[in-house]
Amino acid sequence: MIDSNRIKRLPPYSLGKIKGIMSEQRAKGIDVIDFGMGNPDKPTPAYIVDKLCEVARDPKAHRYSVSKGMLNLRKAMAHRYKEDFNVDLDPESEIIATIGAKEGISHLAMAMIDEGDVVLVPNPTYPIHLYSVVIAGGNLVSIPLTKENGFKVDLEKIRKNNFWPKPKMMVLSYPQNPTTASVDLKYFEDVVAFAKENDILIVHDLAYKDLVFDGYKAPSFLQVKGAKDVGVELFSMSKSYNMPGWRVAFCMGNKEMIANLAKLKSYMDYGMFIPIQVAAITALRGPQDCVKEIAETYRKRRDVLVDGLAKVGWTIPKPNSTMFIWAEIPEKFKAMGSQAFAQKLLLEADTVVSAGVGFGEYGEGYVRFALIENEDRTRQAIRNIKKLLENS
């Protein structure tokens, strides 16, 4: 075999099988409704795209950039955190741009973790939280997120567990993908105290900062006094500005962690295409109405899906954030497992969802809907699911 041990440690891509069946169904002419991947369906706001096009015509904008991102981009991010959270960040030493949060998290793990270092990661979670540790050669310890603990990392339980060797780092992400759990600032105060007391570094992924509803405001981990002593936060532009394909995110906070990531990245990339960075500055500094409109689109879809499923007998709590619905599998299908149930939904209700187990073994018993279909198509999916529930 020519593959490395690093590659051998990575399981096959979890959505692979469902994607294969989806393509076969579509080739047969079946209209498959796709709630699979958390990939925003709407375009980036026009004024951001216009800026990209304008700058792309400037010959000076075609050269290599810098891997940590242009200073003006980092300043724009600092401005946004000041506006949104009243958090002060030094653009020189406390902010680095990354080529999406996924890239930032992967390389941060490589920059911070040595072979065998213990890293605590919630489970289920966005897969790169788990696999960045595996890729970096760390020793991954899953912290189960369950209905009973409100899908929150139970710090008291970790204290009692007395892990040995002592964990070096813990990854958190609230609002949480896939469980949609959210926290208040007090929770992050406890996290910072816990991190100080146990000498653990924190990586907090705030990908869903702006996808919040019903008056809820997602706190930043960096709002807590002393948070910068123990960790970093990642913010991605993918969801807030419908910019998933652009690959723009930031890692912010602890200077040493940022410096380590910057050093590693300086060997690996030359940063983003300059016009993308300038357009991202426009987005971060401009009026934020588009962000609210984007959140509102997901809120409406959430209501259509959750209310509609409740009417056909599938009751799911309404989340106050993210672009997902985390649905416990109806009792009569539970025993078949999330992968088989997702396949059943695809074959018998023409509806694609993600199997909970694809986010870690503690995701078993659930499927995740990503709210990336419009309201009409969401209603169609509910009609299809109604038939499946009635006929099975």
CB of 64 to ligand PLP, least distance (A): 21
Residue carrying the six token digits 């990586």: 203
- Closer of 112 and 172 to ligand PLP (Cβ): 172
CB of 31 to ligand PLP, least distance (A): 25
Q: How far is CA 267 from CA 71, 170, 260, 386, in A?
A: 19, 26, 11, 53
CB of 106 to ligand PLP, least distance (A): 9
Binding to ligand PLP by residue 205, rule CB under 6 A? yes
For the record, the structure tokens of 232 come out as 């970093």
Q: Among 148, 208, 197, which residue's Cα sits nearest to residue 170?
A: 197
In the beta sheet, which residues pair with residue 120?
A: 141, 170
Among 44, 65, 123, 173, binds ligand PLP (CB under 6 A): 173
CB of 98 to ligand PLP, least distance (A): 8
Binding to ligand PLP by residue 101, rule CB under 6 A? yes
Residue carrying the six token digits 């899953």: 142
What span, in angstroms and rounded, lies between the C-alpha atoms of 353 and 65?
39
| 153 conformational bin, left if phi > 0, alpha if psi -120 to 50, beta if neither | beta
CA angle 228, 233, 239 (to 5 degrees): 155
- Closer of 172 and 349 to ligand PLP (Cβ): 172
Binding to ligand PLP by residue 81, rule CB under 6 A? no
Among 106, 238, 240, 321, binds ligand PLP (CB under 6 A): 238
For the beta carbon of residue 204, count every other beta carbon within 10 angstroms. Answer: 22
Binding to ligand PLP by residue 102, rule CB under 6 A? yes
Q: Binding residues for ligand PLP, how many (CB under 6 A)?
A: 13
Binding to ligand PLP by residue 249, rule CB under 6 A? yes
Binding to ligand PLP by residue 34, rule CB under 6 A? no
Q: What are phi and psi of 197, to 5 degrees?
A: -65, -35
CB of 236 to ligand PLP, least distance (A): 3
Binding to ligand PLP by residue 203, rule CB under 6 A? no
- Closer of 205 and 210 to ligand PLP (Cβ): 205
Among 118, 207, 227, 382, binds ligand PLP (CB under 6 A): 207
What span, in angstroms and rounded, lies between the C-alpha atoms of 179 and 324?
8
Q: Among 91, 74, 38, which residue's Cα sits nearest to residue 284?
A: 74
For the record, the structure tokens of 281 come out as 């500055």
Q: Among 210, 201, 385, 347, which residue's Cα sits nearest to residue 284?
A: 210
Contact 363, 123 (CB under 8 A): yes
CB of 291 to ligand PLP, least distance (A): 15
Among 36, 100, 124, 167, binds ligand PLP (CB under 6 A): 100
Among 34, 36, 38, 68, binds ligand PLP (CB under 6 A): 38
Among 35, 126, 174, 250, binds ligand PLP (CB under 6 A): 126
Select from 59-67, 98-106, 299-307, 343-351 the region that touches ligand PLP (CB under 6 A): 98-106
Select from 73-81, 95-103, 158-166, 351-359 the region that touches ligand PLP (CB under 6 A): 95-103
Alpha-helical regions (H) of the chain: 5-8, 16-27, 46-56, 71-85, 101-112, 127-135, 155-161, 185-198, 227-230, 237-240, 255-268, 274-285, 289-311, 331-334, 338-349, 375-391
Binding to ligand PLP by residue 363, rule CB under 6 A? no
Select from 13-21, 51-59, 94-102, 134-142 the region that touches ligand PLP (CB under 6 A): 94-102
User: What is the binding site for ligand PLP (CB under 6 A)?
Assistant: 38, 100-102, 126, 173, 177, 205, 207, 236, 238, 244, 249
